[in-house]
Structure 1
């Protein structure tokens, strides 16, 4: 049996504990107690969350755990000497240590993330980088595994992180079944973006929004600047200038991001060969799509497909 410890503190966010359901349903799926979940705190009493609900906990001790997960808060958690000491010593008493959302700040404060890759909620990622310049912060990742240290983005990403742990421990089929029982489409791969391309671009004018909407509906087209400018009722020069001013990107880069997002969804939801996916979303060939995936997600399209609930082992033989 693997002992799982959730580290909580005054003002922790209850959503962090959603990850505990992943371990619970893994036990249900296997009809045995593979995971033994505990809630740990400095006082060992009832701990009040940010929304007023309380959770009964056990006091910090030197007992070993397979996995320790540090919960997050609505903002950056306030640390105490005892909390930091426990977190700092966590790698000596656990096989893996994880932080959910802003719990990453506690890990960073101890120095455990120095020289490592890590992520947190996108709203606070830059502050994490500023406070802890020795941490390699990747602000647009669902979760990151760097050796025995795991970190995740916002609260719901803790569920993806826990599903990834179950997959490593018990295999992908068990993780898929757990995801289905939790009414999740499937776990998001760690390299995925925290938010969608259209939300990320946040155009300020209706004209630029219209051009992006047109692009998303015509990804198979060449989508030249002239074509997008016509959709926005602007000259090509006016459009390029306005587009960069409003989104911070060139039209070509934004279109590539839209194509990557559409391709990722097709890789996850269908069994189409890579060549078909590349053609449907407007990439010239599979190699250009592969390079775009590696730039965006740090992994090729085939890695995304392996996480898909429709994936079959022989799919990649013909991909």
Structure 2
């Protein structure tokens, strides 16, 4: 059977025990950063993301979670908290992104949200706020990304937005600004994430973007940058998460990525790094959480992990589910 012990960043199936960063299925016990399914226990901890979790904690993202906490992203969550993104959430909080959320808060991104807040990204949101990204949003604010938004603001990312602002990411946006991420946006700016964007900037996440920048997340992007997350990106950078990315970087999470880096989570990644969470990863690293990982590392939480490490599953050939 699987020799299970306590530790940090464990993600086995049917894990029994306590620890930190546990992400097993049907986990029984308490811990920090739990992300199992149907977790049963005291339910206290930080960064819990199980399904049907019962208890309180911080950063809970289960389905049908009952309790209070911070950073909750379950479905039909009942309770209050911060950074909750469930569906039909009832309560108040900060950074709520549920559907049909009723209440007030900051950074809410639900659908049909009623109330005021900051960073709202629901559909048909009625009210004012900052960082609103709903569809057909009516009102003014900062960082709005709705469709057919009428008004001015900062960080607007709606479709067919008319006006000027900063960080605009609408489709066919007309105007100038900084941090715009629309489709077919024409102009220069910072932090633009449109499709087919032409120009240079920082934090660009368009498709087929041509140019250089920082934090680029387009598809088939050509150039260099930091925090690139495009598909088939060619170039070097830091924190890139594209598919089939060729190059080196930090925090890469592409599929079939070739190169070295830190915090990479691609599938079939070849290379070394820290915090790698790909499938069939070959190499060494720290905090590896892939499936069928081959290599050594610390805090690995894969299934069928092969290799040495700290706090990993032993006797992989004799496991029982």
TM-score of the superposed pair, with normalisation by structure 2: 0.26
Between 1 and 2, higher relative CO (CA 8 Å, sep ≥ 6) is seen in: 1
Q: Normalized per residue, which structure has more helix?
A: 1
